[in-house]
Structures are given as structure tokens and as C-alpha cells.
Amino acid sequence: MDIDPQIAETIVVNIKGVIQHEINLFNTHGLIIASTDRSRIGTSHDGARLAVSTKQNVVIDDEHQFEGARNGINVPVLFNDSVVAVIGITGVREEVEPFGNVIKKMTEILIRENLEQVTRFDQRMMMSNLVGMLTMRRHDAAVTAYLASVMNVDLLRPRRVLVGRPCSGDSIIASQDGWHTIISTHLRSMSESFFTVNATGCCILLDEPDQSAISAFLHELSDDIRSSTKSPVCFGVGTVAPNADEYWRSYDEAGKTVDWQIFTGLNDVEYYENLDFGLLISSLNHENASRFVERIFSGLDDDDLDMFQTAFNAYAKHNGSIIHAADELFLHKNTLQNRLNKIARETGYNPRILREYTILDIAFKLRDYLRFKRQQTIPQYQA
């Protein structure tokens, strides 16, 4: 096993802070890969090669010289009973030899800690790649199967996909590690569930059929993330996917659901199957939604549309009561009536006629939703 040069550099810096001597870290071929004397990086050392082959400390002094070596001591570093590196301390033998075993243990601990950190990072990257593949409509089955086997994931199990994001919508999460730790803790008893975290939120593939249990799980998880980050979190839940071939569909549903939650600001946790208007609005692709809005509001500028929409929303909120809607807007009732009449005149759709009211309602909602999607910094979820 070879030590990564960045890990080697970290180890050298840590040890240099303990003893006031030049430090070199060699790979198992006797090549210096990190040093406090950067001019020596890349040079070879016979004394280090001897330390690797014998697993013994090698002292270099005036009586024991090796090609490429300076006086000091070379100490083999073991990991799982194999030499993985050699740490060299430059100096007078009598001064540096007492540090040998201490530095050896320090280096072994630092290597173990760094390798464990790298292993955790590699596992997170593999899981992120696996989730990324599973949430795509078309993916490489062989690569997916390989990643699943490495991560011990059963692709034949039914699962729901949960997508979580900050409720502010355009927020980038500050601490992915924090989210990861919290979610890991909550999933500890759910061995068949797995997840990934990225800059915009999380994606959880949950092996839990009971909706009430999912709701309890998500409310507790949301509370912990909010407590840690001071930011409320919204979760959208897709329908049950029978196996890995259908996970992408549940992911698409969860993404649309959490989008709708953020857009409306209604619930922290919502299920795709419980959406009403949101099911319709979020399912329209951008092109068709834009075409519909343009068809209804053709020729009107944004200022007029904003004024019309404010009047229309108040009228809808108060179930067609002109008096109550006008009071909310601090308008005379005749002024509000004039604006509703102008909506009918400019669009050709009268908000007082039920069928035409419905068309206007959808058009205004779509206009808002399209604007919301444009403002988002994350990709749209499209099937």
C-alpha cells in the first residue's frame, strides 16, 4: 500500500511541530515523498530501502553510510503488520535515536487516522455515485450492480426516495458533513436504507413501507437538522418503487414534491400521492407551461400582470367577496371591480365565470411557478 503524498505532507507537518529536526517520509521504494526540506522530495535513499526490507530501524552515522542518506535514523512504519512507509529524522545519532519509537507510533496513528478518513470519503463518493446512477432514468446496469455489491445494497428491495432541501429554496447547505452525520445517526437502525448529501440537500432511499413511521422519522430528522443548522428543512417523499429499475421515478416524484413545498411554503414533509394542484403544476414541462401562460396573458407586461394577479388572488382568497377582497387590499370595492373587469377585457377570461376563473387560476399559478423555477440554483426535476 502506498501513502498518498498529501497524507505524507500532513504527517511531516504534524511531526515537525513536535521535534526540532528535519523530517523525511519515504515510500516503500525508498523515495522521499514529503519532507521539511522540499529540495529532497523525489530523491532516493538506500537506508530507507533497508528499513523496509528488514522492518528494523536503520541508523545513519559516520560509520554507517548509505547512498543518498544523511546522518540520522530511518524508522519503518507498519500498518496491518506491513511496512507502508519509512520516517526519517535527520541529525546527530545520539540526539535523534531516542525519538525513534515515539515518532514511529505517532506516524502509524496519523496514517491510520488519515486512511480511515480517506476510506470514509471513498465510501461516501461511491455511495454518491450509486445514488446518482439509481436516480437516473437510464443508467449503466453493470456499473450500478458493481457499486451496489461494494456498498452491500440490495437493489431488489422496494424503497421510497426522499429528497430534502432547505425550505428557503435557493440556499446552499453550509455543512454537508453535519447533514451526513445527523442522517447517519437516524438511519442507524435502518440497515437497508442509504443516502447521499450534496451542496443543495440530501437524497435518502428508505426501506420503510409504513407512512406513519416515515413521517415520524422525517419530522425527527428535520428537527435535528434545523437545530444544528438553524435552517428549516423540507422533505418530499416519492411513491414506493418496487426495485432499482423504478427508483428514478420515486426520485422524480420526491423532487417535484419538495419543489412544490418550497414554492407554497405549506408543509415541511409532504408525499407525492397527497399533492393536488401541485401534481398538475409540477408535472408540466417548462415549454408547455410557458406556452400556456403566454397564450392566456399575451401582450400584457409584467407590471399589469402583477397588479391583476394581486387583485385576482385576493378575490380567490375571499371566495369571490368583493367587499372582503377590497378591504384586504385597502381599495374601494369599485376599484377592485374595475380591475377584475380589466382582467376580463385584457385576457378574454372573466374571473367571475367559473370555467374562465379556473383557466386564470392555473395561468397565474404557472406564472409564479415558472418564476420560482428560474430563481432556483438547483436543476429542475424532469422525468
Structural contact between residues 236 and 257, judged by C-beta atoms closer than 8 angstroms: yes
Number of neighbours of residue 84 by Cβ within 10 angstroms: 20
Domain assignment present for 132: no
**Residue 246: Cβ-neighbour burial (10 angstroms; 0-12, 13-18, 19+):** middle
In a domain, 133, yes or no: no
Q: Where are the alpha helices (DSSP H) in the chain?
A: 5-16, 46-54, 93-96, 100-134, 141-150, 176-186, 211-229, 247-264, 277-283, 286-297, 302-317, 322-329, 333-347, 354-375
Q: 232 and 292 share a domain?
A: no
150 in a structural domain: no
**Which 8-state DSSP code applies to residue 200?**
T
pLDDT in the model for residue 295: 96
Report the sign of the C-alpha dihedral through residues 51, 55, 59, 65, in that order: negative
- Shared-domain flag, residues 90 and 187: no
Domain CATH code at residue 318: 1.10.10.2840
Q: Is residue 134 part of a domain?
A: no
Residue 146 lies in a domain: no
Query: Is 382 a domain residue?
Result: no
Please check whether residues 260 and 300 belong to one and the same domain.
Answer: no
* pTM for this entry: 0.73
Cβ neighbors of 177 (< 8 A, separation 6 or more) are none
How far apart (Å, rounded) are the C-alpha atoms in residues 269 and 289? 26
Of 95, 118, 141, the residue that ends a domain is 118
Report yes or no: 51 and 119 within 8 Å, Cβ to Cβ: no
- Bridge partners for 12 per DSSP: none
Sequence letter at residue 189: S
Q: The domain containing residue 71 runs over which residues?
A: 5-118
Domain boundary among 233, 251, 282: 282
For residue 345, the model assigns a pLDDT of 96
Flag whether 94 is in a domain. yes
Count CB-CB contacts under 10 A for residue 277. Answer: 12
Sort strands 201-206 and 160-166 into parallel, antiparallel or unpaired.
antiparallel
How wide is the angle at C-alpha 308 spanned by C-alphas 303 and 310, nearest 5°? 95
- Alpha carbons 292 and 306: distance in angstroms, whole number: 17
Residues 170 and 275 in one domain: yes
Give pLDDT, residue 380: 44
The pLDDT assigned to 20 comes to: 79
Q: Using one digit for the tens of pLDDT, what is the confidence trace for 83-122?
A: 988 988 888 888 888 888 888 888 888 878 777 777 777 8
Residues 107, 162 within the same domain: no
Residues 225 and 296 in one domain: no
Q: What is the CATH number for 176?
A: 3.30.70.270
Q: Are residues 85 and 18 in the same domain?
A: yes
Q: What angle do CA 120, 205, 225 make, to 5 degrees?
A: 70
pLDDT of residue 63: 66
Residue spans of the chain under pLDDT 70: 1-2, 63-65, 67-68, 170-171, 377-383
Half-sphere exposure of 122 (CA within 13 A, CB side): 9
Residue 138 lies in a domain: no
Whether residue 291 sits in one domain with residue 260: no
> How is the beta sheet containing 194-198 ordered, strand by strand?
194-198, 201-206, 160-166, 233-237, 269-271
Query: Does 270 lie in the same domain as 300?
Result: no
Residue 42 belongs to a domain with what CATH number? 3.30.450.40
pLDDT in tens, 312-331: 999 999 999 999 999 999 99
The residue among 94, 118, 142 that closes a domain is 118
Q: How far apart, in whole angstroms, are the C-alpha atoms of residue 368 and residue 165?
A: 20
Q: How many domains in the chain?
A: 3
**Strands, sheet with 72-79, edge to edge from the N-terminal-most edge strand:** 32-35, 22-26, 82-90, 72-79, 58-60
Residues 30 and 86 grouped into a single domain: yes
Q: Which residues, in sequence order, are bridge partners of residue 83?
A: 78
Look up residue 305 and give its three cell numbers.
400582470
Q: Look at residue 169 in the predicted model and tell me its pLDDT.
A: 72
Chain mean position to CA 264: 23
Q: Are residues 345 and 331 in the same domain?
A: yes
Residues 98 and 197 grouped into a single domain: no
